[in-house]
Chain A
Amino acid sequence: MIIDETTVTRAEQTAFALRALYRRYGYIPYRMGKFEEYDLYSRNKDFLVSDSVITFTDTSGRLLALKPDVTLSIVKNYREDTKGTEKLYYDENIYRFSRGAGTFSEIRQAGLECIGTLDPAAAGEVLILAAKSLESVSDDFVLDIAHLGILSAVLDRITSDSALQEEILAAVGEKNLHGIRTILRERGISPEKGEELTRLLSLYGEPEKVLPEIGQIAAGAGAGEEFEFFRRTLSVFSDGGFGGKIRVDFSVTGDRNYYNGLIFKGFIAGLPAAVLSGGQYDNLMRRLGKNAGAAGFAVYLDSLEQLDDTPSSTDFDVLLLYGADTDPGELAAAVEGLQKDGFTVRTGRSSSRVRAGRTGVFEKGSITWQA
């Protein structure tokens, strides 16, 4: 079978490329059912991007849900006796509330999960794969990486009130430095206490440039161990193979009930929101009663459709008009002849409402091209 590349959408091309990429690194495909027991999601609502889930009752009366997420299912099925590390990838449709549509949407998502012993080498490989995933979509990408453990330690120095921490965290996600200062002022916390956090947030750039200062901040907040993990993990990029596309940015955050260490987001020039999102979710593992580390990410394939080139001004190369008395066999032969020359050919009786590159009239076995 020969695949005509012009008929393959950006999302499909990327899905093929990603599957091949993950296979090269020894990841194994993971295919799952469309449904999952609703209970899994109701217990872990905050892990989901949106807590709206499509549910239905199956024939035996159990409440099922159309999968709104893949990670939870993979983690649930992880068996601790699998000595060593599981490396899995997927390419699945999920169903979740979409703000743009205002209702549920089917979203195609590809990604991978690395579950088991998560040392800097394994975590670094996940980051490399994230960068290569973005690269397979476009050379013009940015991968922003942060470490929630370091951020949490810095937040702990400001306040132990978790509600207040969440409020500050929201401002962190918006790079909202004046917002952080306002929150501290309103709560009567001295502005000096927030200085480390604003410094951490202002450090945006390539790892080798910002890591030394982050190291100081982390050490000051008692997160030396977390920083060491972060530094060693990021050393996978020290050969500079991705140019300035890998950046440390502590405004990348996530729900700390699930995510703990690394957290990252990928952007492609020309798309307004992140197309890749992932992190280290040891806390989720613990919540699901698994004694292992884990990291993974997802690529939102649907959003790539916006990158597709501007539609061509014609729907096909040739429109072949024929009359009521045309011999069908002769017409078919003429079409095949044109196709052999590489043209796309549409036959029809009239040229209304079609946009053809060229129009020809087929009569008595020959084509008369129209000007």
Chain B
Amino acid sequence: MAGIDCLLNIALPKGRLGEKVYSRFAAAGYPCPALLENSRKLIFENPDAGVRYFWVKPADAAIYVERGTADIGVAGKDILLEQGPEIYELLDLNTGICRMAVAAPKGFRDDTRRPLRVATKFPHIAERYYASMGRDIDIIHLNGSIEIAPILGLSDVIVDIVETGTTLRENDLEVVENIFPISARLIANKASFKFKTSEIEKLVNKLSEETEEFSIKERI
């Protein structure tokens, strides 16, 4: 693990959410201007602010943190519930807000005589959700374009992330059931937290002050 140096290693999810979250880190006193310059570089340091950022695929952020390569990171609650990593979840960043939901073609009725066929990128979440209801299911693990599965008859329903519902509507699907709300979370490696306690706590405090301001602004 590369985390023994004095910089705080931070894994950010590449993409729009990551950029949004970075601006919050920067506002909280952890800037690294080079990060937003358009380049193919993935690792950025700002020794003055004591941070090293790296861009990772959003679904991998929790892995970098669990393995200690990153001391802290940002991951969606969907990823955390799907992967169940051994980490601390220190803060709800109140951004990247969406929800996990069951969607089906309009007018869908569950045929309870046979197992429900569920297409999803999140097999563990789907499994747990239906197990809690005692419903027998057949999971079809897909990696993308989940929406077409029920249209083509591959599955009866899908379990997926819904943000505005536009994609669903365009594919003649609708939300049947909401499973849980999702937002981006600040996570930390358990061992890093022990050895960089004050640095991590300071960052969490600053970010949570910032998050409150941010939430107020979002609401306005």
Contacts and interface: CB of A to CB of B under 8 A. Distances in A.
Chains A and B belong together in one complex: yes
Contacts of B197: 204
Interface string A158-180: 00000000000001001110110
A306 interface: yes
Nearest to A140: B195
B88 A251 contact: yes
Interface in A257-309: 267-274, 306
B14 to A, nearest CB: 22
Interface residues of B, number: 22
Interface of B: 1, 3-4, 66-69, 86-92, 189-195, 197
B105 to A, nearest CB: 30
Given A144-B194, A267-B191, A274-B191, A174 B89 contact: yes
Contacts of A267: 190-191, 194-195
Nearest to A175: B88
B91 A178 contact: yes
Contact of B1 (A174, A179, A306): A306
Nearest to B87: A174
User: Of B88, B90, B191, B195, which is in contact with the most chain A CB atoms at under 10 Å from its CB?
Assistant: B191
Interface in A317-367: none
B90 A269 contact: no
Contacts of A174: 87-89
A249 to B, nearest CB: 9
21 contacts: A142-B195, A176-B88, A176-B89, A178-B89, A178-B91, A178-B92, A179-B89, A179-B92, A267-B191, A269-B195, A270-B3, A270-B4, A272-B3, A272-B66, A272-B67, A272-B68, A272-B192, A273-B66, A273-B68, A273-B190, A274-B191
Contacts of A251: 88
Interface in A191-213: 204
Contacts of A268: 191
Contacts of B87: 174
Contacts of B67: 272
